Amino acid sequence: MQTENPVTSAPFAPIDEAVALAHAAQATYGTASRAVRSALLRGLADTLERDAAQLVAIADDETSLGTARLNGELARTAFQLRGFAERVDAGIANLQVDDAAVPGAPPAGRPQLTRVHVPLGPVAMFSASNFPFAFSVLGGDTASALAAGCTVIVKPHPGHPELSRRVHALAARVLREQGLPEGVIAFVDQASREAAVHLVGHADIAAVAFTGSYQGGVALWRATNARRRPIPFYGELGSINPLVVLPQALTDGVETPAATLAASITMGCGQFCTSPGLIVVRDDTDGDRFAQALAQTLSTQKPHAMLTADMRRGFESATAHVAAQAGVRVRLAASAENDEATAPAPRLFETDAQTFIANAALHEEMFGPAALIVKVRDEAQTLDVLSAVEGSLTVTLWGAQADTAANRALAATAQRIAGRVLFGSVPTGVAVCDAQQHGGPWPASTQPQTTSVGYAAIERFLRPVALQGAPQWAITATAGTATVA
Q: How confident is the model at residue 176 (pLDDT cuts 50, 70, 90)?
A: very high
Residue 428 resides in a domain? no
The CA–CA distances, whole Å, from 300 to 262, 265, 428 equal 9, 13, 20
Q: Is residue 120 part of a domain?
A: yes
User: What confidence tens digit (pLDDT) does each residue in 225-283 have?
Assistant: 999 999 999 999 989 999 999 999 999 999 999 999 999 999 999 899 999 999 999 99
Please tell me whether residues 355 and 382 are part of one structural domain: yes
Q: What share of the chain is helix, strand, coil (3-state, %, to 5)?
A: 45, 15, 40
Q: What pLDDT shows up at residue 341?
A: 60
User: Looking at the structure, do residues 376 and 246 belong to the same domain, yes or no?
Assistant: yes
153 lies in some domain: yes
Query: How far is it, in rounded angstroms, from Cα 450 to Cα 459?
Result: 8
Q: Exposed, middle or buried: residue 373 (CB in 10 Å: 0-12, 13-18, 19+)?
A: buried
Residues making up the chain, counted from first to last: 485
Backbone phi and psi for residue 395, each to the nearest 5 degrees, phi listed first: -135, 130
Helices (H), 267-378: 285-299, 309-323, 353-358
421 CB burial (10 A radius; 0-12, 13-18, 19+): buried
Q: What is the CA radius of gyration of the chain?
A: 24
| Number of domains present in the structure of the chain | 2
Domain coverage including residue 64:
13-237+445-478
Given a cut of 70, is residue 9 above it in pLDDT?
no
22: in domain: yes
Active-site positions read: 236, 273
- Has residue 342 been placed in a domain? yes
Residue 10 has pLDDT above 80, yes or no: no
Supply the CATH number for residue 65's domain: 3.40.605.10
Longest dimension (CA), the chain: 83
Same domain, 201 and 320: no
Is residue 1 scored above 70 in pLDDT? no
User: Whose CA is closest to 141, among 80, 215, 52, 227?
Assistant: 80
**364 with 391, same domain?**
yes
What does the pLDDT average to over 325-341? 81
Q: Based on the domain organization, do 266 and 294 belong to the same domain?
A: yes
**pLDDT-based confidence at residue 164 (cuts at 50, 70, 90):** very high
Which residues, in sequence order, are CB contacts of 425 under 8 Å at separation 6+? 396
Tens-digit pLDDT profile for residues 348-358: 999 999 999 99
Q: What pLDDT was estimated at residue 246? A: 98
User: How confident is the model over 429-478, as pLDDT tens digits?
Assistant: 999 999 999 999 999 999 999 999 999 999 999 999 999 999 999 888 77
Average pLDDT over residues 324-331: 97
In a domain, 438, yes or no: no
The rounded distance, in Å, linking the Cα atoms of 280 and 278 is: 6
Helices 52-63, 34-50: crossing angle, 10 deg rounding:
70
Average pLDDT, the chain: 93
pLDDT at 160: 94
Kindly state the DSSP code that residue 343 receives in the 8-state scheme: P
CA neighbor of 62 nearest in space, from 120, 121, 136, 113:
136
Residue 196 and residue 71 share a domain: yes
Do 196 and 248 lie in one domain? The reply is no
Residues pairing with 211 in the sheet: 236
Clarify whether residues 301 and 260 are in a common domain: yes
Q: What is the CATH number of the domain that holds 398?
A: 3.40.309.10
211 and 292 together in one domain: no
pLDDT, tens digit (0-9, with 9 covering 90-100), for 81-129: 999 999 999 999 988 999 999 999 999 999 999 999 999 999 999 999 9
In terms of domains, do 192 and 288 share one?
Answer: no
Tell me if 6 is assigned to some domain. Answer: no
Query: Which one, of 115, 113, 123, 125, lies nearest residue 154 by Cα?
Result: 125
| Pair 191, 214 in one domain | yes
At residue 481's C-alpha, the angle toward residues 478 and 485, to 5°, is: 95
What pLDDT does residue 484 have? Answer: 34
The helix-helix angle for 67-89 and 34-50 (nearest 10°) equals 170
Task: Please check whether residue 443 is in contact with residue 237, taking contact to mean a CB–CB distance below 8 angstroms.
Answer: yes
Tens digit of pLDDT for each residue in 284-327? 999 999 999 999 999 999 888 888 888 899 999 999 999 999 99
pLDDT at 2 over 60: no
Whether the predicted pLDDT of 483 surpasses 60:
no
**270 within domain boundaries:** yes
pLDDT of residue 479: 63
* Confidence band, pLDDT 50/70/90 cuts, at residue 192: confident
pLDDT of residue 443: 92
When mean pLDDT is compared across 36-50, 165-179, 213-227, the lowest value belongs to 213-227
The pLDDT, as a whole number, for residue 8 is 40
* CA 224 to mean position of chain CA atoms: 19
Encode pLDDT of 14-32 as tens digits: 999 999 999 999 999 999 9
pLDDT (0 to 100) of residue 307: 87
Say yes or no: 21 and 149 in one domain: yes
